[in-house]
């Protein structure tokens, strides 16, 4: 097996050929069913997934990685271009009808605000107006070193807390509730009516990699 990044081979290793495993389970992309903590879900983005029934050379991968592959191309078994833009169905452009489905999309829930971080150092700010008191819980559901800050009429509720330390399982209290507004390890936040800003910061580039124009 060989791994290519941006058309360049970066790793290679032998693949076991004995005791092949056969399964009728669905093909999972970006997640794992392994119970061991040594495995984790994919942290990143995927664009144009192709499955071939033959090994592709580095030259073939490089020649086609920026071009669409036509339906019916020999040995192409699956092609999800992932350009639907909405919905949960992934069309198969190979012509073989192997459509896929997306699970875990929060933008299908009522009232959801969806966004994304495009570049290192980016900051995204959301504004929230509350008309009545609310209790709010933040679960990051992501293993990333992004940070989040919550500010409102009474001041700063959370200041640059890492996503990696923001899930409910990270905190030791039974239900996450801490009465002290100023406590740094609150999980459940009592928000009074008013305007709030919710800020997400992506880590900046290391000094050695930073540049200016």
Query: For 60-95, how does the pLDDT look when each residue is reduced to its tens digit (9 = 90+)?
Result: 988 888 899 999 999 999 999 988 877 889 999 999
Q: Domain check: are 97 and 128 in the same one?
A: no
Cα–Cα–Cα angle for 27, 29, 32, rounded to 5 degrees? 90
Whether the pLDDT of residue 207 is over 50: the answer is no
Q: How many structural domains does the chain have?
A: 2
Place of tokens 């191309």: 73
User: Regarding predicted confidence, which is higher, 197 or 31?
Assistant: 197
- This prediction has a pTM of 0.56
Query: 50 and 125 share a domain?
Result: no
pLDDT at site 109: 66
How confident is the model at residue 181, as a pLDDT? 46
Are 141 and 49 within one domain? no
Q: Are residues 4 and 106 in the same domain?
A: yes
| Residue 111 in this model has a pLDDT that exceeds 80 | no
Q: How many residues does the chain have?
A: 213
pLDDT at 54 over 90: yes
Strands (E), the chain: 2-5, 8-12, 49-52, 76-80, 89-90, 100-101, 123-130, 134-137, 147-152, 155-162, 188-191, 194-201
Beta-carbon neighbour count of residue 82 at 10 Å?
A: 16
User: In the prediction, which pLDDT does 167 show?
Assistant: 65
What's the domain range around 181?
115-201
pLDDT of residue 171: 52
Task: Identify whether residues 46 and 68 lie together within a single domain.
Answer: yes
Chosen domain end from 64, 83, 114 = 114
Domain boundary among 114, 133, 153: 114
Residue range 98-119: mean pLDDT, rounded: 76
- In the DSSP assignment, the letter for residue 59 is H
Based on the fold, state whether residues 79 and 123 are members of the same structural domain. Answer: no
Could you tell me if 103 and 123 lie in one domain?
no
Whether residue 96 is found in the same domain as residue 48 = yes
Comparing 182 with 160, which gets the higher pLDDT?
160
Give yes or no for a contact between 99 and 92, defined as CB atoms under 8 angstroms apart. Answer: yes
Q: Based on the domain organization, do 90 and 152 belong to the same domain?
A: no
- On whether both 164 and 86 belong to a single domain, the answer is no
User: Other C-beta atoms within 10 Å of 24: how many?
Assistant: 4
Q: Distance between CA atoms of 187 and 199, rounded to whole angstroms?
A: 17
Q: Are residues 67 and 141 in the same domain?
A: no
- Which residue, 114, 141, 174, sits at the end of a domain? 114
Share of the chain above pLDDT 70, in %: 78
What does pLDDT average to over the chain? 79
196 and 106 assigned to the same domain: no
Mean pLDDT of 26-52: 78
Band of the pLDDT at 176, cuts 50, 70, 90? very low
- Model confidence at 35, pLDDT cuts 50, 70, 90, reads low
């Amino acid at each position: 097996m060989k791994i290519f990044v941006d058309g360049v081979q970066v790793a290679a290793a032998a693949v076991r050929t004995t005791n092949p495993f056969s399964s009728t389970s669905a093909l999972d992309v970006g997640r794992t069913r392994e119970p061991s903590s040594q495995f984790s879900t994919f942290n990143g983005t995927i664009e144009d997934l192709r499955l071939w029934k033959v090994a592709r050379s580095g030259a073939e991968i490089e020649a086609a990685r920026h071009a669409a592959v036509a339906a019916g191309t020999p040995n192409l078994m699956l092609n999800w271009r992932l350009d639907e833009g909405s919905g949960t169905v992934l069309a198969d452009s190979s012509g073989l009808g192997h459509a896929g489905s997306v699970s875990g999309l929060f933008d299908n829930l009522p009232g959801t605000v969806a966004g994304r971080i495009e570049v290192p150092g980016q900051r995204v700010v959301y504004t929230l107006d509350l008309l009545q008191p609310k209790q709010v819980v933040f679960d990051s559901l992501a293993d990333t070193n992004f940070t989040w800050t919550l500010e409102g009429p009474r001041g700063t509720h959370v200041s640059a807390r890492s996503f990696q330390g923001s899930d409910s399982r990270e905190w030791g209290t039974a239900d996450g509730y801490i009465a002290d507004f100023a406590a740094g390890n609150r999980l459940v936040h009592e928000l009074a009516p008013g305007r709030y800003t919710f800020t997400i910061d992506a880590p900046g580039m290391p000094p050695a990699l930073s540049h200016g124009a």
